[in-house]
Structure 1
């Protein structure tokens, strides 16, 4: 509770803008505080009134004789600044500003909001909002909002960036009997954001699971740091709206084009242990599952059904996700054979047949739950003529108590005839669904969270004392002095070498003679490439010559490239021709980085070469907090990993060298925030070592 200084549990609350008139926001807030059973003092503030709902009204916050921990502000936007100053002078520590008319209306509102936040910071106050519905805590209890109802008591904390969504969920939740520990409307997030409330809920003894509806994350770096710690304590489930890929269209690099604007959220959520919901339905199905179910020990699922069709649907869903169908021990199969009809299916899924009554379900479930190879179980029941929903449910409830560490998901297909059984299961604190798919999705969420929680907590171990930061700074300085944001290939290779990333030897030549001299130094064969920051795809303009193995070939190649470029792109500024040592073929990969607005640099690695955008076999991680273990996991997610481990008799590639190169790339972009994009494509990975061939670096 200390994280937000008595925000949820204040001794006294004042409502500025309190109203006597029903239908006014200021009246609803006062009435909600009273009807919620708030145990502290409530002080309505309105200079024009003397009494509201039986409470003495004060003309101002400073006129209140006692200390006030929380003030709810419901006055027009223009007056909020004066109210905030008054609260600051009174020593108030927390504000809830429900008033609209701030940054959501444009620049004028944004300026007003900035001033409001500045006043809060000046006096050391924390603020929820502005432009929010308010907040509620069922365990205090307190309802500092203008909602029509108060949530049922429960253990789910719900944070919503949309006030309308929170109000709708609150209304729905009462109709289905779903309880909450607290509900918070985040509004404009002028000061307090989802990060603060997630951190607080992670410490709250009354909260078991944290569910969020978000439209954005304003401080990506802090989000990663705080939420990564919170998810070690409690599951965090987020529905993030706005999954546009518009960001991919504007990217100039392969990596940027592959990333898109929503992938950063996917990557960030995965790295800090957040479970991402794809719909409002899934958000609350997962929240309910985490609220009521234990986290299973593993991913092995058993299915017991009285109907073959739904059993097959459930099996397909298990196999479509990162789950596995449990394989029973020989003893379990023999016991099932001895107690079930001859026609029953004994191997997972277990089909107890359509004439199964409660006793047969109990027998099969007991044997399956006792099997050490089973981590969780789905009980499917169709409304056959002899089905006993109530009696079967009672058996399921008793068995869940006997095996508390194995989640049992009910799936009662049908309508009225199954409703009582479903209700009984829900009242017993268990989960019951109408169809198999959400039940399997819930198990998958539980398993994913369990796997994350069981991974060792690792600090970033990408520390390289041999890097040369001064050399990189000098290269960037020269490029910017030349009014360039795209480095030449030779400059990019020098940056890579300064950070210990092996790169093929490359030099810039301005005449055919210089090109021959450089080729002689590095040895034949060589590659020639036009050096121009305006030409990103050099082969398209005849700007590349490969396999040149003599001085004559180099001279001729130099002249031909220059002629091609001047003919096709006469306006392009050409700095010369780069001469590069031709390297032996290896496994072709791409290592890249694109910088996300919210979460900073995202590292990519996968299949490279000319097929990178066609096959899109690339995995991403955020550079912040990246570890070698995470890099290895990133590589294992790609099809290229099969090639790296040795495919069809080929020797395995040097994976440690690749992990090192990716780690050093991540260190580079963390050390230099001015790097906007990097493409190292291709990287040839050999049995021993690797070589970066084509490196593109864009700075801002």
Structure 2
């Protein structure tokens, strides 16, 4: 079992998410009030700590001595649950501070999430009071929290089981949905839950560090509408995923969903595709359907990881074997190629009509002996080319379907599967069409910690998460750090000049910066006037050239008629120069034109794009995909947060759907992927070295079998020097 039970608990949240004393501010005997429900939850579940109901109008609440105010309680409380209206919160937090309360749960809404100036102002006042008083705040606008191992049930939820799934959810309804699903499952339980609400003080990164250190939590599970500080979350996730799985469902995958998230929590939803990529970059298991959250959390919590994505399927029906194969392929998993030895051993125990290739279809061999399925699993588990095992079919229901006396065989098969799982490092996942009725053999598997699913799709998603996690952990082991780039003084002066002039880098300045740091950029020369063309012609000779206008006022050069291609010789250069200047002045008569840039035409290859933005949530993020017009049409791109590791860079090339083009199609040679990986790493390091660079666009980059060439480069410059905090975001 992977936990941090022996780790140092550095998170300050332990002091109040596992409280020994709780003050209920607004405690009530009215069953419709949250102050009543919280009291009921604590009393009913047998909370062993001290409860301080705060209500100035009564002497006792549900039999517990009440106090007029926080100032009147003896000693202190680790946690305060504030059930009163929003306007009362700042003053109450000051009272909490005076009594030494470590944390407060603020249920009230009416703060920043409203979007109104008075709500924003009230949240600022609340946060100032909390900071002044040394009180950490969960919320506001939160559904609350529970810690089931501590018997702290402030939501008064019924039939919720203590377990090892830690849960942080910005939606109270999503929490309820997962609790009800766990109740139906019967085998899944929770450790700690918190609703971050507006994240005014405590953010997802803080909660994640707590769950990472919590010995009762084996897998951290988060429902996220928006991050407040994505960069800090990535830093926390990188540390925690090395120790235990982290599952995230990020809502807001559509424009409508993003609007809903913003109005609900007041948080920026950000780009969904980018968010998914940068979360996976740090080892987070991202699920894209809400009904996958609990199955994946359960599977990762129990099984942790697989070595890779090669799956052996053993099935007792051809139809479901085919469905499983389809879903595995769609999830990016592979059907393992079974060795000759494995196929021979399977053939020795199965009927002649059985299929011995993957997926293995036992074809009725197990109808009279369901324990035979366990023998098949044992055989495929011994195959070195298998990373995980998937049993598909009706196991658990043989005694119902065929004969009652088969129950003993199913129970023996279950025990054999449990023993196999105990000995093997290859996870075993079971899909059974009888899972909804939970027959004895499946109950036994569950009790022993083997997950059983009633959906092939859910089982496959768990297999994918196990494989992705195993590959991520292996890639992180022993990976060399990318050397830090030292900024060039001359380049810093170019940035300073651009900032002073309120412009971005000219194309030739951008390319010079790239060239200075080892990026392959074709030679180019600037013609400030027609008089410069003679010397340029002497330099380039008769080879075909590209000519482009250079002006801070003309961003879309082609639209302005400021680009000429395949220009040859001095005479052709002069004609093209005059046409470019005339067209550019006609396009914008006020444009300041610095000249025309001339460079040899790039050789044929695959056009790719490399871009960088400084995202307000996740900081600098790099994008890679097919270049030219394809990036806008196909939207087939990959994102990674900067800085990149070598694994990050290489995985970007493998992620895009059009990766086969990079490998060579229809007789074309494969591009030099190693050179592209090197380019991505150089760009990542360059962005770190120059915080003034806020956006970069290399489009196209021509990728070839013998390297690459950056054909066009654009660098957007910050309009003012960045403060230290902004520079690192």
Q: TM-score by structure 2 length?
A: 0.86
Is the Cα contact below 8 Å between 1:286 and 1:442 reproduced in 2?
yes
Distance 1:369 1:576, change over 3 A: closer
Once the two structures are superposed, residues 547-566 of structure 1 have per-residue CA deviations (whole angstroms, 9 ceiling, x without a partner) of 33333222221111122233
CA distance in 2, matches of 1:619, 1:105: 34
The Cα shift of 1:201 comes to 1.1
The Cα shift of 1:478 comes to 3.0
CA distance in 2, matches of 1:185, 1:518: 65
Distance 1:295 1:548, change over 3 A: closer
The Cα shift of 1:43 comes to 0.6
Does residue 487 (structure 1) correspond to residue 505 (structure 2)? The answer is yes
The Cα shift of 1:320 comes to 3.0
For structure 2, the 5+ residue unaligned runs are 1-8, 259-269, 719-729
- Corresponding residue for residue 225 of structure 1: 235
Which secondary structure does the structure 1 equivalent of 2:498 belong to?
A: helix
Aligned residue runs from structure 1 range 537-616, under 5 A: 537-567=556-586, 569-571=587-589, 573-585=591-603, 587=605, 588-609=607-628, 611-614=630-633
Is the Cα contact below 8 Å between 1:214 and 1:241 reproduced in 2?
yes
Is the Cα contact below 8 Å between 1:542 and 1:564 reproduced in 2?
yes
Once the two structures are superposed, residues 76-99 of structure 1 have per-residue CA deviations (whole angstroms, 9 ceiling, x without a partner) of 111111110011111111111112
The Cα shift of 1:652 comes to 7.0
**Residue number among 386, 394, 413 corresponding to 2:411 in the alignment:** 394
CA distance in 2, matches of 1:457, 1:363: 34
- Corresponding residue for residue 474 of structure 2: 454
**Residue number among 188, 200, 210 corresponding to 1:200 in the alignment:** 210
Is the Cα contact below 8 Å between 1:305 and 1:351 reproduced in 2?
yes
Is the Cα contact below 8 Å between 1:528 and 1:545 reproduced in 2?
yes
The Cα shift of 1:360 comes to 3.5
Which secondary structure does the structure 2 equivalent of 1:504 belong to?
A: coil
CA distance in 2, matches of 1:479, 1:247: 39
CA distance in 1, matches of 2:389, 2:520: 51
Once the two structures are superposed, residues 645-686 of structure 1 have per-residue CA deviations (whole angstroms, 9 ceiling, x without a partner) of 777888876655544432232223233344332112233456
CA distance in 1, matches of 2:371, 2:514: 69
**Residue number among 441, 451, 454 corresponding to 1:431 in the alignment:** 451
Is the Cα contact below 8 Å between 1:595 and 1:601 reproduced in 2?
yes
The Cα shift of 1:221 comes to 1.1
Once the two structures are superposed, residues 443-496 of structure 1 have per-residue CA deviations (whole angstroms, 9 ceiling, x without a partner) of 11111111112223578834355541x333333333343333x43222322332
- Corresponding residue for residue 306 of structure 1: 316
Aligned residue runs from structure 1 range 73-92, under 5 A: 73-92=82-101
Deviating more after overlay: 185-194 vs 505-514: 505-514
Is the Cα contact below 8 Å between 1:515 and 1:579 reproduced in 2?
no
The Cα shift of 1:131 comes to 1.2
The Cα shift of 1:586 comes to 5.2
Does residue 214 (structure 1) correspond to residue 224 (structure 2)? The answer is yes
Distance 1:65 1:417, change over 3 A: closer
- Corresponding residue for residue 628 of structure 1: 646
CA distance in 1, matches of 2:483, 2:345: 56
Which secondary structure does the structure 2 equivalent of 1:7 belong to?
A: helix
Is the Cα contact below 8 Å between 2:311 and 2:388 reproduced in 1?
yes
CA distance in 1, matches of 2:170, 2:414: 37
CA distance in 1, matches of 2:541, 2:703: 21
CA distance in 2, matches of 1:10, 1:518: 76
- Corresponding residue for residue 268 of structure 1: 278
Is the Cα contact below 8 Å between 2:308 and 2:468 reproduced in 1?
no
Is the Cα contact below 8 Å between 2:418 and 2:450 reproduced in 1?
no
Distance 1:609 1:520, change over 3 A: farther
Is the Cα contact below 8 Å between 2:565 and 2:601 reproduced in 1?
no
The Cα shift of 1:169 comes to 2.4
Does residue 670 (structure 1) correspond to residue 682 (structure 2)? The answer is no
Is the Cα contact below 8 Å between 1:149 and 1:170 reproduced in 2?
no
The Cα shift of 1:527 comes to 2.9
- Corresponding residue for residue 33 of structure 2: 24
Is the Cα contact below 8 Å between 1:524 and 1:581 reproduced in 2?
no
CA distance in 1, matches of 2:708, 2:372: 62
The Cα shift of 1:277 comes to 0.6
Distance 1:34 1:594, change over 3 A: same
Which secondary structure does the structure 2 equivalent of 1:182 belong to?
A: strand
Is the Cα contact below 8 Å between 1:515 and 1:577 reproduced in 2?
no
- Corresponding residue for residue 80 of structure 2: 71
CA distance in 2, matches of 1:308, 1:661: 47
- Corresponding residue for residue 124 of structure 2: 114
CA distance in 2, matches of 1:500, 1:367: 52
Number of aligned residue pairs: 684
Is the Cα contact below 8 Å between 1:489 and 1:694 reproduced in 2?
yes
Is the Cα contact below 8 Å between 1:591 and 1:604 reproduced in 2?
yes
- Corresponding residue for residue 62 of structure 2: 53
Deviating more after overlay: 21-30 vs 491-500: 491-500
The Cα shift of 1:307 comes to 1.5
- Corresponding residue for residue 501 of structure 1: 519
- Corresponding residue for residue 168 of structure 1: 177
Distance 1:396 1:465, change over 3 A: same
Is the Cα contact below 8 Å between 2:540 and 2:600 reproduced in 1?
no
**Residue number among 175, 187, 193 corresponding to 1:183 in the alignment:** 193
Distance 1:672 1:2, change over 3 A: closer
For structure 1, the 5+ residue unaligned runs are 249-259
Distance 1:276 1:651, change over 3 A: closer
Deviating more after overlay: 452-461 vs 120-129: 452-461
Once the two structures are superposed, residues 25-73 of structure 1 have per-residue CA deviations (whole angstroms, 9 ceiling, x without a partner) of 1111122122222211111112222111111111121211112211111
Distance 1:654 1:420, change over 3 A: closer
CA distance in 2, matches of 1:174, 1:642: 45
Which secondary structure does the structure 1 equivalent of 2:414 belong to?
A: helix
Does residue 696 (structure 1) correspond to residue 720 (structure 2)? The answer is no
- Corresponding residue for residue 20 of structure 2: 11
CA distance in 2, matches of 1:104, 1:542: 48
Which secondary structure does the structure 1 equivalent of 2:71 belong to?
A: coil
Deviating more after overlay: 377-386 vs 9-18: 377-386
